[in-house]
Structure 1
Amino acid sequence: MYGILLFLTFGSIIVPQHGANISASEFAVTTLTNEIFEWVKNGVMSQKFTNIIGDLAIPTEMQRIDWTKLSGSKASAFCIICKSLTKAIINLRRTGTPVEVIQQTVINLCTRLNLQTEPVCRGVVNLNTPVVLYIIDNDVTINEHDVCGLLLQDQMCVSSPLRYEWTININTEPPKLITKQPSQKSLKILQITDLHYDPLYEPGGNAGCDEPTCCRRGQNKTGGNTLKAGYWGDFNNCDVPWHAVVDALDHMKEQHQNIDLIYFTGDVIDHGVWETSREGNTKSLVKNFNKMKDIFGDTQIYPIVGNHEPNPVNLFAPNDIKDDQLSTRWLYQLLADLWINYGWLPESTRETILRGGYYTLSPQEGFRIIAINNNVCYVYNWWLIYKPNDPSGQLQWLENTLLKAENDNESVHILGHIPSGDSTCQHTWSREYRRIINRYSHIITAQFNGHTHNDEFNVFYDLNDKTKLINVAWNGGSITPYAYLNPNYKIYIADSNTYVVEDIETWMYNLTNANETPEKRPLWFNSYSFKNEYKLSDLSNESLNKIIVDMAKGSPILEVYHKNFFKHAAPELEKECDKPCLQSYVCRIVTTSSDNMNDCEYFKTINSST
């Protein structure tokens, strides 16, 4: 596959020479698209087409990697695949090809290219077809550059399409400084995130399957698998069974009797993305939230939606999409009803939940929680292609809400599933979010994320001063071990008047040890205190900046962070991580806007100067 550019240029495709107005890559895309079109028309795959597909087919071991982060010839090959398939689908649809033929064509190509197994290809294609065709039918301007410019935004597959360029209005007045005295009392906050409960999990099942998610009923067809799913979960691309979810929640309740607030930062649904259904997702959401209510009783829980909750996965429709088969309203309605009926949220939050899955409330005077649905920025949310500009008006709402909080002298916690600097968050959304944080960092005392499953944090530096750390977003990790991680949750100790986080406890268990004694409950333990682990007197911006600078200079503390990042899981820590590898984690910490690597580059200069 990695020789695809040379193959397409010098093999079966002859690229025009002097004076041609078309690049080798675009010529390859056009040729491959035409081959697909002729194949559909005549039912015959030419030898040229067969050769191209054979050369493009990816090795099986690459099926689970993040294609958005490839570089060099690998990225070029995926760019050609993306643009060719997209162009073919659009052309087939606009020339009246029956839906069933389009679907089968894409399934066949998906399988021949070894992108996934046939059942996975079929399931994903069938689930996503209605949305994809609606977008193609209702915007005649959309082309392959728009699609691949979103999916492969970090690969420079195409120059950033203009449809993704927009901005919001941010108050330009100087920040209104708020002075609050620390209290002698503390607030105890529990963060739970990324359960990924799998109703099909089968202890003893196949943990070495060919699908994206293993350990599920029906995958062990021969009974000859050598990797058997553990009772309490499994490292090998598996989620968790119900008894593991219940044990985790029971342990939290038993171990921590005085929890004041609970933040649930998304992702109840499993990773079986090719065979989800609205009914199945509904059943899992109700089951998990009911269990949280049963276990934690009257303790207030503030939940948000994860990218796995909708069906199909990742798709959050604009609020003016009324077709019930396409709309996300069913999910928003379900969550609003559950969360409000439990008494977790007031009725006043319903309107914005139904509009876009976000809300705000003030649990007590001087304190505001803002729960956002930043899954709309995910590059796999196809609706971004159709309506990219501030989906559901959420970021403008966030800015307006923060301005009011500033005027009301409120401290703010923001809950969001995806870290804003994640490479899969659409560049413009990510940039505008960071602009908002830059303006209101003085009242935002903490942010809380999930999604990555890692034990990590991200820091925001002033857009005009790379040395001035102004805000921090803490990541809760995950209950699921997917993939190659130990399960965990976090306890935050915050000042009850300023709402500043003063320390963090990370609780986890060793999955390997737990599975050796399936008849016993896992042995949860307090892995570390953030202050003690990183030898800090406090978690102020100044202290956090100091340890990041030390990490950039090669301090041994970076190795400690690397170990905690993977939650002490042996499968990851057994891999070699040299100095450049370790330094990449510093970049990850300081990158909070997916379109801006300036902070990363700055800290590289710190490292190179030592």
Structure 2
Amino acid sequence: MQFCRLLFFALFLKVANSDVTSKTNDIISRLTYEINNWVTIDEKSEEFQQLIHNLSLPTNLLRKDWRSFDGENSENICIICKSVLNTFIEYRRQGMSEEDIKNKMIKICTLLKLQSPQVCDGVITINLPIILYIIDSKPNLTADTICGVLLESPFCPLDNNEFNWIVNIDDGPSKWIKPEESNETINILQITDIHYDPKYEPYGNAYCNEPTCCRKGQNDTNTSDKVAGYWGDYHYCDSPWHAIIDVLDHVIAEHQNISYVYFTGDIIDHGIWETSIKGNIESLNKSYLQIYETFKNIPIYPILGNHESHPVNQFAPRTITNDEISTQWLYKLMADLWIDFGWLPESTRSTILQGGFYTVSLKKGFRIIALNNNVCYSYNWWLLYQPQDPDGQLQWLADTLLQAEVDEEYVHILAHLPPGNTDCQTTWKSEYIKIVNRFAHIIRAQFNGHTHKDELQLIYGSDDNSKISNVAWNGGSITTYQNVNPNYKLYTIDSKNYEVKDFENWIYNLTLANINLDQRPLWYKSYSFKEEYGLSDLTYDSLQTWLFKLMNDEKLLNRYHGNYFKQAEPSLTEECDAKCMRAFICHVIVNLGDHEIKCE
């Protein structure tokens, strides 16, 4: 009887899902037809206008990541994606010019309120050459595949065998290194996500309808009383130069015993509709020179953020040499800067030029592996062109870790995107986690940025889904984008086995800084991880105990929630009950099994 009920329920779900899919496909067909008709005769039918009205994004979703949508919004963005791409892929293959496609796509972007007219114009103008190159090069590429990569949702699943691939990972028994412990420690500073905005305008417009505010030229649209603070702003605003200088000056004055600096990416601002290679080069040169002059003889180990490229998120394979769409300018610039400043040896140049990644041995028994995992970003159009292990980076990672194991080296991995980040394409992410699980015994820690939040991720083993195999620490951000205070982290590291013994988080209150303009921001240590959560150490057993407490102790969870947003008042005044806070626990857990069950 129980089996019959389950079978009936499964059939019911299948039929219900089939009805939903049929309805979605019907709307896609109708909208595709109407867009075709509009392109042909330049007239909007009643049906077209009604569909546009029904599908247009609410204003409060303009800045949200499409992959974070659920329910009706997720369905609508999938319908928009497939309908628009169905139309323009077909027109391109019939010979429509880039200029005509650009003009039509800007209009449809504006009609659907995907962004403001200015942002639609800028984003489409700078991204279209790459998209058309890929469409022209891949005659079998479909709207279903493109939208599946971009969204990977129940409404837009990715069903293409090109994206099913594996890395050759050594399956031999792990070669364990006897972990030596020491009373001696070293200090490693992590700074991340500067997001320097050359257009930042103190007392400018902090409340605009574009992806980034507080910028010169936006004052005429300021209809509110929200103006940009001198030191930065909690709204969708990036960092003024003087705020970046202040962070660096404070760090070097406050901490005299830094052994290494990990810089985990993102120098460029969020003005994604008006970036340029020239502008990015100026900001990168200026920022890295300042970092070099601040830390002088302290070794820096930098990586690329997803914003460093132009357009944002675009990391072309090495085989793409066309200057208009290639990423070689960025890789060459980074190789020159990082090596010329004396941070990296000449031996790293070849892999930096290959794809923005490198490895270096700091001393006997200790190695850094620096990844450019921005290639896995789902909005990196080049994933459609080269789906399988872009630039061979993951295979290189597996091979490098195998050699490190043979050489009895401990490893720190630096990567911009955290290992469980939903922005990373699923296959790349799962293969990465498999590699980490195989070599978890020599990977002492991972260090990430990207999210701007003070958080960590616990990676669970492939064989034993109840045990932590590795931990990834997030550095937070220098930028206050969006609704966070600026911060940096100082890690205490065992000098023998290179595990993280503890870290201090340093922040300042942006509201107070912007009120007290006659003095520099008041930096303070907000907490040490061990002291804050009452831990004797940061072993995996202790972190497992901490996670269990987090699930069952509302006060502890509330404390983690406050630290997550770096005590920024605008985030903490937003209503978030116990159920809402529990979602933050899910951000901590990374595994290849049933993520939802472990969250529960």
1:602 matched to 2:590? The reply is no
- Where in structure 2 are the equivalents of 1:53-64 lying within 5 Å? 53-64=52-63
Query: Is contact 1:103–1:125 with CA below 8 Å preserved after alignment?
Result: yes
- In structure 1, what is the equivalent of residue 436 of structure 2? 437
- In structure 1, what is the equivalent of residue 320 of structure 2? 321
State the shift of 1:184 in Å.
2.2
1:540 to 1:144, Cα distance in 2 relative to 1, 3 A: same
- In structure 1, what is the equivalent of residue 186 of structure 2? 187
1:255 matched to 2:254? The reply is yes
- Where in structure 2 are the equivalents of 1:305-384 lying within 5 Å? 305-384=304-383
Structure 2: distance between partners of 1:508 and 1:288 = 20
Structure 1: distance between partners of 2:305 and 2:413 = 15
- In structure 2, what is the equivalent of residue 428 of structure 1? 427
- In structure 1, what is the equivalent of residue 43 of structure 2? 44
Q: Which amino acid aligns with 2:214?
A: C
- In structure 2, what is the equivalent of residue 401 of structure 1? 400
1:527 to 1:336, Cα distance in 2 relative to 1, 3 A: same
Structure 1: distance between partners of 2:593 and 2:108 = 35
**Secondary structure of the residue that 2:219 maps to in structure 1?**
coil
- In structure 1, what is the equivalent of residue 490 of structure 2? 491
Query: Is contact 2:208–2:221 with CA below 8 Å preserved after alignment?
Result: no
Structure 1: distance between partners of 2:438 and 2:19 = 49
Percent of pairs identical after alignment? 50
**Secondary structure of the residue that 1:362 maps to in structure 2?**
strand
Q: In angstroms, what is the RMSD of aligned CA positions?
A: 1.5
State the shift of 1:225 in Å.
4.0
- In structure 2, what is the equivalent of residue 110 of structure 1? 109
**Which 5+ residue runs of structure 2 have no aligned equivalent?**
1-17
**Secondary structure of the residue that 2:297 maps to in structure 1?**
coil
- In structure 1, what is the equivalent of residue 462 of structure 2? 463
Structure 1: distance between partners of 2:175 and 2:270 = 44
State the shift of 1:488 in Å.
0.2
- In structure 2, what is the equivalent of residue 529 of structure 1? 528
Query: Is contact 2:506–2:524 with CA below 8 Å preserved after alignment?
Result: yes
1:201 matched to 2:200? The reply is yes
- In structure 2, what is the equivalent of residue 135 of structure 1? 134
Q: Which amino acid aligns with 2:597?
A: E
1:21 to 1:238, Cα distance in 2 relative to 1, 3 A: closer
Structure 1: distance between partners of 2:499 and 2:540 = 11
- In structure 2, what is the equivalent of residue 175 of structure 1? 174
Structure 2: distance between partners of 1:528 and 1:603 = 26
Structure 2: distance between partners of 1:180 and 1:536 = 21
- In structure 2, what is the equivalent of residue 83 of structure 1? 82
- Superposition TM-score, scaled by structure 2 size: 0.95
Deviations 1:486-533 (CA, angstroms, capped at 9, x unpaired): 000000000111101000000000000000012311000000000000
Q: Which amino acid aligns with 2:466?
A: T
**Which 5+ residue runs of structure 1 have no aligned equivalent?**
1-18, 605-610
1:233 to 1:95, Cα distance in 2 relative to 1, 3 A: same
Structure 2: distance between partners of 1:22 and 1:310 = 37
Q: Which amino acid aligns with 1:123?
A: G
Structure 2: distance between partners of 1:463 and 1:414 = 19
Structure 1: distance between partners of 2:183 and 2:432 = 33
1:42 to 1:448, Cα distance in 2 relative to 1, 3 A: same
Deviations 1:126-146 (CA, angstroms, capped at 9, x unpaired): 000110000000000100111
Deviations 1:207-260 (CA, angstroms, capped at 9, x unpaired): 011111000000001665411000000001000100000000110100001100
- In structure 2, what is the equivalent of residue 454 of structure 1? 453
Deviations 1:34-59 (CA, angstroms, capped at 9, x unpaired): 21112111121212111111221122
**Secondary structure of the residue that 1:306 maps to in structure 2?**
coil
**Secondary structure of the residue that 2:153 maps to in structure 1?**
helix
State the shift of 1:336 in Å.
0.3
**Secondary structure of the residue that 2:530 maps to in structure 1?**
helix
- In structure 2, what is the equivalent of residue 231 of structure 1? 230
Structure 1 runs (4+) greater than 6 angstroms displaced: 19-22
Q: Which deviates the most, 377-386 or 460-469?
A: 460-469
Q: Which amino acid aligns with 2:559?
A: V
**Secondary structure of the residue that 1:23 maps to in structure 2?**
helix
Query: Is contact 2:260–2:299 with CA below 8 Å preserved after alignment?
Result: yes
Q: Which amino acid aligns with 2:544?
A: N
Deviations 1:374-403 (CA, angstroms, capped at 9, x unpaired): 000100100001111000000000000000
- In structure 2, what is the equivalent of residue 278 of structure 1? 277
Query: Is contact 1:586–1:600 with CA below 8 Å preserved after alignment?
Result: no
**Secondary structure of the residue that 1:394 maps to in structure 2?**
helix
Structure 2: distance between partners of 1:32 and 1:576 = 38
Structure 2: distance between partners of 1:207 and 1:20 = 45
Query: Is contact 2:374–2:416 with CA below 8 Å preserved after alignment?
Result: yes
Q: Which deviates the most, 91-100 or 561-570?
A: 91-100
- In structure 2, what is the equivalent of residue 569 of structure 1? 568
- In structure 1, what is the equivalent of residue 122 of structure 2? 123
1:587 matched to 2:600? The reply is no
Structure 2: distance between partners of 1:384 and 1:257 = 43
- Where in structure 2 are the equivalents of 1:475-486 lying within 5 Å? 475-486=474-485
Deviations 1:68-95 (CA, angstroms, capped at 9, x unpaired): 1222222111110111111112012111
Deviations 1:239-297 (CA, angstroms, capped at 9, x unpaired): 01000000001101000011000000000000000000000000000000000000100
State the shift of 1:22 in Å.
8.4
Structure 2: distance between partners of 1:315 and 1:410 = 33
1:591 to 1:156, Cα distance in 2 relative to 1, 3 A: farther
State the shift of 1:159 in Å.
4.5
Query: Is contact 1:466–1:599 with CA below 8 Å preserved after alignment?
Result: no
State the shift of 1:553 in Å.
2.5
Structure 2: distance between partners of 1:110 and 1:348 = 46
Q: Which amino acid aligns with 1:602?
A: K
Query: Is contact 1:278–1:311 with CA below 8 Å preserved after alignment?
Result: yes
Q: Which deviates the most, 452-461 or 570-579?
A: 570-579
Structure 2: distance between partners of 1:20 and 1:381 = 32
State the shift of 1:599 in Å.
3.6
**Secondary structure of the residue that 2:467 maps to in structure 1?**
strand
Query: Is contact 1:591–1:600 with CA below 8 Å preserved after alignment?
Result: no
Q: Which amino acid aligns with 2:50?
A: N
Structure 2: distance between partners of 1:288 and 1:457 = 27
Query: Is contact 1:68–1:155 with CA below 8 Å preserved after alignment?
Result: no
Query: Is contact 2:149–2:158 with CA below 8 Å preserved after alignment?
Result: no
Q: Which deviates the most, 176-185 or 303-312?
A: 176-185
**Secondary structure of the residue that 2:258 maps to in structure 1?**
coil
Query: Is contact 1:411–1:445 with CA below 8 Å preserved after alignment?
Result: yes
Structure 2: distance between partners of 1:398 and 1:411 = 14
Query: Is contact 2:21–2:155 with CA below 8 Å preserved after alignment?
Result: no
**Secondary structure of the residue that 1:123 maps to in structure 2?**
helix
Query: Is contact 1:370–1:414 with CA below 8 Å preserved after alignment?
Result: yes
Q: Which amino acid aligns with 1:484?
A: N
1:96 to 1:564, Cα distance in 2 relative to 1, 3 A: same
Structure 1: distance between partners of 2:66 and 2:389 = 25
Query: Is contact 2:448–2:475 with CA below 8 Å preserved after alignment?
Result: yes
- Superposition TM-score, scaled by structure 1 size: 0.94
**Secondary structure of the residue that 2:362 maps to in structure 1?**
strand
State the shift of 1:27 in Å.
2.2
Q: Which deviates the most, 510-519 or 68-77?
A: 68-77
**Secondary structure of the residue that 2:395 maps to in structure 1?**
helix
Structure 1: distance between partners of 2:158 and 2:168 = 25
Deviations 1:401-446 (CA, angstroms, capped at 9, x unpaired): 0000000000000000001211111000000000001100000000
1:244 to 1:512, Cα distance in 2 relative to 1, 3 A: same
Structure 1: distance between partners of 2:523 and 2:115 = 36
State the shift of 1:96 in Å.
1.3
1:156 to 1:545, Cα distance in 2 relative to 1, 3 A: farther
